[in-house]
Structure 1
Amino acid sequence: MSTTDPDCLFCKIVAGEIPATVVASDERTVTFMDINPATRGHALVVPRTHARDLLEIDPEDLAAVARAGQRLAKVSKATLRADGINLINSCGAEAWQTVFHFHLHVIPRYADDPLQLPWVPSAGDQEQIQATGAELKEHYA
């Protein structure tokens, strides 16, 4: 397992080579807003070290991603007044994995949201994504 993959979209986001609305980061993880959100506040938590999927990720990185996902879930519920939260990881193309760098979807759910799983990603409103990311980031202090 390499530290980074030069062809990996998420490795490029972690390295700052591709812009993203980063909500939080620590020594093992980066949390950023999904550009194809299923609902308002949909974000991704990724390990800094490249791992293709759940079967390849280092257990310590997996634990760090889980902790970051739980923290974002709490912040999302309080800040965005989400009624619930989905934590989703897809392992393999047949399980809907489209970016082959382990990631955890943290998807706030609302009583009136139209999301039915699996959702079909479509481009979101960039201003709303950035504003929501800023709103969540503010509560990470």
Structure 2
Amino acid sequence: MLYDQNCIFCNPDKDENQNIVFENDTCYFLQHNHQQDVLEGCGVIVPKQHRQHTFELTKEEWNDTYYLLQKAKDYLNKEYTPDGYTLGWNVGEASNQSILHSHFHVIPRYNDEPLAGKGLRHWLKQPANKRKKSTKQL
């Protein structure tokens, strides 16, 4: 089994503020008490084995992620009644992956948020994010 003793997602029970809401054979759906202050209801789906990047997930982990996503949606709809969701993975430093264990963000969104209507594309498509033309030869 791939495991990192210092990884918070390999050891979800070692953080008293991290809650295993659901799990199946290969994945957890986790919520963290300190993340609920702004992103109410948010959580992550993580493989139990240490997979640094999403591209390393097995077919079984993909299927189990799908299963937990559907279960999390039902739970979040009942507990928080969001108006929408933002879902996603960050892979690598350029994408702001701060924990090097693959984790799928499940973020409930609400019409009364100050940034309602602003999803991933809003932040990424800001003019300040435009790359300078590459000097590499094709």
User: Rg: which structure is higher?
Assistant: 2
Contact 1:77 1:84 in 2 (8 A): no
Report the alpha carbon displacement of residue 112 of structure 1 after superposing the two structures with TM.
1.0
Contact 2:8 2:14 in 1 (8 A): no
- Relative to the length of structure 1, the TM-score reads 0.72
1:91 maps to: 91
Deviation per CA, 1:39-62, whole angstroms, max 9, x where unpaired?
210011111111001121222112
- Relative to the length of structure 2, the TM-score reads 0.73
Deviation per CA, 1:6-48, whole angstroms, max 9, x where unpaired?
22121121xx233322211122111111333452100111111
Q: Tell me the distance in 2 between the aligned counterparts of 1:96 and 1:89.
A: 10
Structure 1, unaligned stretches of length 5 or more? 119-141
Superposition RMSD on alpha carbons, in Å? 1.9
2:5 maps to: 6
1:17 maps to: 14
Q: Following TM superposition, where does structure 1 have runs of at least 4 consecutive aligned residues deviating by more than 6 angstroms?
A: none
Q: Percentage identity across aligned positions?
A: 24
Q: Tell me the distance in 1 between the aligned counterparts of 2:114 and 2:39.
A: 8
SS at match of 2:28: strand
Contact 1:76 1:108 in 2 (8 A): yes
Structure 2, unaligned stretches of length 5 or more? 121-138
Aligned residues: 115
Q: 2:111 is aligned with what amino acid? A: A
Comparing both chains, which one has the higher relative contact order based on Cα–Cα distances under 8 Å and sequence gaps of 6 or more?
1
Report the alpha carbon displacement of residue 71 of structure 1 after superposing the two structures with TM.
1.7
Contact 2:90 2:96 in 1 (8 A): yes
Contact 1:77 1:85 in 2 (8 A): no
Report the alpha carbon displacement of residue 117 of structure 1 after superposing the two structures with TM.
5.3
Q: 1:32 is aligned with what amino acid? A: L
Contact 1:69 1:87 in 2 (8 A): no
Change (3 A) 1:93 1:117: farther
